[in-house]
């Protein structure tokens, strides 16, 4: 009886140890890798805007920052990066105007590597993460007029 109890205790301890080791490695959060928009920058990078989730991509910035058309995101990307962090993080600036309202600066942040810098997201072999976020500088939400067809954009 003692041998069975001892063997059970050893097996239970090994099982708990294995679960602890597996549990410590966090699974990557779910994100939709489907490409919603794509724009080539002046350096030849084909940068996707993926559907994403609440932390990155279209689902992150479309509601939070009132960006509803690919034109708003693609305009800054149709140029050269304005900032480069040296680790695959690029920032592009663009401008929106319609002749009736003041000009608004658009900022698009993209990761042009396979993984995000915190290693939580992976686009897959041979692919890049793409647009992380986009927003209008100096405001929480972009103005509604930017989503209308009369708005004009430039990098």
- Whether residue 135 is contained in a domain is answered as yes
- Whether residue 17 is contained in a domain is answered as no
- Whether residue 110 is contained in a domain is answered as yes
C-alpha distances out from residue 139 to 65, 94, 142, Å:
9, 15, 7
pLDDT attached to residue 20:
41
Is residue 35 within 8 A of residue 49, CB to CB? The reply is yes
User: What are the tens digits of pLDDT across the range 23-75?
Assistant: 445 678 999 999 999 999 999 999 999 999 999 999 999 999 999 999 999 99
Structural domain including 93 reads 32-154
pLDDT attached to residue 3:
58
Is residue 113 within 8 A of residue 129, CB to CB? The reply is yes
- Whether residue 148 is contained in a domain is answered as yes
- Whether residue 19 is contained in a domain is answered as no
User: What are the tens digits of pLDDT across the range 68-111?
Assistant: 999 999 999 999 999 999 999 999 999 999 989 999 999 999 99
> pTM here?
0.81
Burial (Cβ within 10 Å: 0-12, 13-18, ≥19) of residue 113: middle
- Whether residue 128 is contained in a domain is answered as yes
Domain tally, the chain: 1
Given the structure tokens 């900032």, which residue do they identify?
83
């Amino acid at each position: 009886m003692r041998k069975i109890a001892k063997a059970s205790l050893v097996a239970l301890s090994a099982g708990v140890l294995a679960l602890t080791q597996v549990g410590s490695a966090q699974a990557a959060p779910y994100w939709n890798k489907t490409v919603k928009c794509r724009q080539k920058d002046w350096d030849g990078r084909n940068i996707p805007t993926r559907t994403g989730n609440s932390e990155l991509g279209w689902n992150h910035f479309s509601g939070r920052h009132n960006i509803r058309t690919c034109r708003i995101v693609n305009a800054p990307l149709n140029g050269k990066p304005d900032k480069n962090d040296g680790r695959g993080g690029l920032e592009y600036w663009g401008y929106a105007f319609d002749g009736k309202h003041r000009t608004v600066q658009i900022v698009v942040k993209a990761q042009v590597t396979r993984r995000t810098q915190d290693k939580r997201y992976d686009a897959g072999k041979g692919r890049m993460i793409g647009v992380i976020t986009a927003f209008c500088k100096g405001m929480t939400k972009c103005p509604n007029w930017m989503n209308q067809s009369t708005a004009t954009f430039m990098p």
